[in-house]
Amino acid sequence: MSNFAENYLNADVVGVIKILKVYNQNTQQRTYKADIEFEKLYKGAKFATLNVRGLIGNSSSAACEKDVKPNERYLILLKGSNKSFSISSCSPMSQLQEKPTEDESIEMEKLSKVFSYLDKNKFKFKGLQFTYYYDETMGANTRSELSKISNFKPKQPFAIYKVKLNDSFKIKEITPMTTFGSKDKTIEAIMKKNLTIETPMFKDTSEKNEYLVLLFYNKQNIKTENKEIISDSWF
């Protein structure tokens, strides 16, 4: 699976869906269909039916099969053509609560702002890839140093940085594309000190040493000790 921002930029349709029913199982091809409705649409056009890899109630995650059930809700970021879209357990999608929550509303508002920024600034990202990072200082700590920053009061819920790497995949140079607007220099210093960038192995990266890192402010995690407040995960 690609990075979240890469999945959005590459997707033909992005939205929050609800599963209405599952049917039409094909045991030989190990596929079935799911009728859906869109609760929110961020990109592309709505469609009514998903092709699902697996068997109803008997899918194998080891084979990347997916078991979806009526009333389940998902955020999807899918590629497809002619309104034909397929999912498996390896697809870029995240399961949500069966009923919207206050925390989900905050998360979706944050993602909407991220999606809007990505759409408006595609030209800035040409030739670059969004990627993940590894914080080698975490160890047994429940939170990273980024999430322990005090008096953090962001003006927006995300930040994007262009990072130049050394031969050890550590950050040697940071160029902010857009920032949180709070503790920005502190964040950059921690990134340089602690983060190792995960370069995508599925693309030619032999000549590349510049990547993009998207950080989220996860306000909903403040009172949950083992969850990150600032990270490259949106939840």
CA atoms within 13 A on the CB side of 84: 2
**Over the stretch 174-203, which tens digit does the pLDDT of each residue have?**
999 999 999 999 999 999 999 999 987 645
pLDDT of residue 200: 72
Choose among 80, 68, 74: nearest CA to 13.
Answer: 80
Q: Specify whether the CB–CB gap between 196 and 179 falls below 8 A.
A: no
What pLDDT was estimated at residue 162? 97
Cα atoms in the 13 Å half-sphere on the side-chain side of 151: 3
| Residue 226: predicted pLDDT | 86
Mean pLDDT calculated for residue range 220-232: 91
Q: 167-198 b/e with 16+ CB inside 10 Å = b?
A: eebbbeeeeebebbebbeeebbebbeebbebe
Is the confidence at residue 206, as pLDDT, over 70? no
In angstroms, how far is the first alpha carbon of the chain from the final one? Answer: 17
Cα separation, 49 vs 1, whole angstroms:
23
List CB contacts of 36: < 8 A, sequence separation 6 or more.
17, 18, 19, 20, 47, 48, 49, 50
Overall average pLDDT of the 50-55 stretch: 96
CA angle 8, 11, 156 (to 5 degrees): 20
pTM of the model: 0.91
Contact yes or no for 72/93 (Cβ under 8 A): no
